Chains A and B, each alone.
Chain A
Amino acid sequence: MNLAQNNPIIELEDVTVTYPHHTALESISLAVREKEFVGIAGPNGAGKTTLLCAINGLSHILCGTVCVFGKNLFPHIAAIRRDIGYVPQIIACDPRIPLRVREVVSMGRYARISFLKRFSAEDRNIVEDAAEVVGIRRLMDRPIGHLSGGEQRKVAIARALTQEPRILLLDEPVSHLDLNAQAAILALIEKVHAEKNLTTIMVSHQLDLLPESCNRLVLLKEGRIVFTGATQEGLKEGILSRLYGCPVKIIRNGGGCAIRVGTHF
């Protein structure tokens, strides 16, 4: 696998990640350039979340190197994590937890504020701006446990934005949401990617819901990359049928597409 030219912002070289009883990623090499929007997809257990977590050091890397912003990950992990906004898949949230939305959104600033420094007016403005961009201003005084799934996702995105990151990692940001909420979250992700000039990497099960800005697709199967290239090049019936091990039909409609699985088309 060739690494991309022109100083990629993220470089994984021959990375293997293992868990106690299986190998989640095997010899992964991947380069992501600045301001790219990369979609990661694949069957269950392919290693999508693990790949995302390898970038911010949350995965246990057995061998290989991960470089972010031109630096090797682990000696500089704390500094690198400050510039990576991470939106995990689902955060199980006790509805009684004594935290309000404003506090949870503000947690992203903690990455930027040094140990004994107080929360400044500038920090507060950044928090409010992030809430405004994401559209959760009216929710800021609510207990975090009282929010719906879609609202919780928006809060997680706002939290990531308060870090003022250069890279945004999103793990299945629209899973378990209804159609309206999916559309709202995807529109928000496209907006922040463009407005904040971010490098965005998004894991998604639903290939037909990848935002238009997503210009590169990485397909994983059993811990290995089986395709990386332009999104439209990856959304081909042959490639997806081999990836998922079942017949896949792609119905293209204007700028988008619908993906059907099965034998009855």
Chain B
Amino acid sequence: MEILQYQFMQHAVLAGILAGVGCSLIGVLIVSLKIPFLGVTMSHAGFAGAVLGIMLGVNPLICAFIFCCLASLFIGPITDRADLEPEVAVGIIFSVMLGLAFLFLAFLPGAKTEALSLMWGSILAVSRFDVWVIAVSALVVISFLILFFRQIKTILFNRQVAVSLGIPERSIYYAIIFLSGVVISANLTTIGGLLIFSLVVNPAAAAFQIAYNFKNMCILASIFGVSSCLFGLWFSYVFNVPAGAVIIISSSIIFSACLALSPKKKLRHTCCRNE
């Protein structure tokens, strides 16, 4: 393990662990709320913002964060007030953000290398500052989950029941959407706009196949996320292949294994059987 003596690898390992935890935990929330496509929307919002940042000479991370915040400000209220299914609202915002991203790319002068590198990320080029940003985003998600664990479980069970119990379900629902933007924008430059969705959804979806307990689902998802990242780093070091791609493929393999071994697979087409 002499590779770990190099600072870039230490940063990459730390970033992998923290990204694995943060992305997986937010993934647990959006998968359980049945809005997994939110991850794609937020990653494209972050990508559009980052490209605009490059265009304006501003830190891409800040612009990515602002665009993710803007997207989250629209998704929740559109879902509730326009009486749309959440995935429809998410899809509309996704198409807007995708259009903006390509528009900004078209206006970007010169070679678009820096912008295009945001698509697949560069975990091996992550700086100490990036590690801190990812750490803070992971800590925020963990704190949110711990503080609002009971309320989140109730909302995941049924939003109307949550309201009837006096739980501020709308605020918490909007906070989950906002936090997904925070986590994704924080991890955009390391994992990449095209790949971050997979790190958000795959570990959570894999854990969903196995766990009958919400706390266990969070723990399992984190383990799957961290394992994917560390395996991806090791594999890219040994075989000299892009780390991001291997991270995603390994998270997909974990999901496939969980799906194949899932004790829940026979229940997939059953809902509330009667006596």
Contacts and interface: CB of A to CB of B under 8 A. Distances in A.
Contacts of A180: 275
Contacts of A95: 264, 267-268, 270-272
A98 B157 contact: no
Nearest to A88: B160
Contacts of B83: 20
Contacts of B150: 107, 110, 113, 119
B171 to A, nearest CB: 12
Interface string A107-144: 11011010010010000000000000000000000011
A107 B275 CA distance: 24
A81 B164 contact: yes
A42 B264 CA distance: 40
A143 B268 CA distance: 14
Interface string B254-275: 0000000000100110111111
A96 B267 contact: yes
Contacts of B32: 97-98
Quick one: which of A98, A146, A177 has the most chain B CB within 10 A?
A98
Given A81-B166, A148-B275, A178-B275, A58 B268 contact: no
A78 interface: yes
A110 B167 contact: yes
Interface size class of A (residues with CB under 8 A): 35 or more
A28 interface: no
A97 B275 contact: no
Contacts of A100: 212-213
B165 A88 contact: no
A96 B265 CA distance: 9
A152 B275 contact: no
B160 A58 contact: yes
A140 to B, nearest CB: 13
A99 interface: yes
Given A96-B268, A98-B217, A100-B212, A181 B164 contact: no
B154 A178 contact: no
B157 A97 contact: yes
Nearest to A144: B157
B225 to A, nearest CB: 17
A99 B157 contact: yes
A180 to B, nearest CB: 7
Interface in A155-188: 159, 163, 176-178, 180-181
B127 interface: no
B218 to A, nearest CB: 9
A96 B264 contact: yes
Interface string A237-255: 0000000000000000000
A108 B165 contact: yes
B194 to A, nearest CB: 29
Given A84-B164, A104-B157, A94 B271 contact: yes
Interface of B: 32, 83, 147, 150-151, 153-154, 156-158, 160-161, 163-167, 208-209, 211-214, 216-217, 264, 267-268, 270-275
Q: Which 10 A-B pairs have the closest CB atoms?
A: A95-B267, A86-B164, A81-B166, A111-B165, A148-B275, A149-B274, A96-B264, A78-B166, A143-B212, A98-B217
Given A56-B164, A111-B167, A178-B275, 8 more contacts: A88-B164, A95-B264, A98-B216, A107-B150, A108-B165, A148-B273, A163-B165, A177-B275
21 contacts: A58-B164, A77-B166, A82-B165, A88-B161, A88-B164, A91-B158, A95-B267, A95-B270, A95-B271, A96-B267, A97-B156, A97-B157, A98-B216, A99-B212, A107-B165, A145-B272, A146-B267, A148-B274, A149-B273, A152-B272, A181-B275
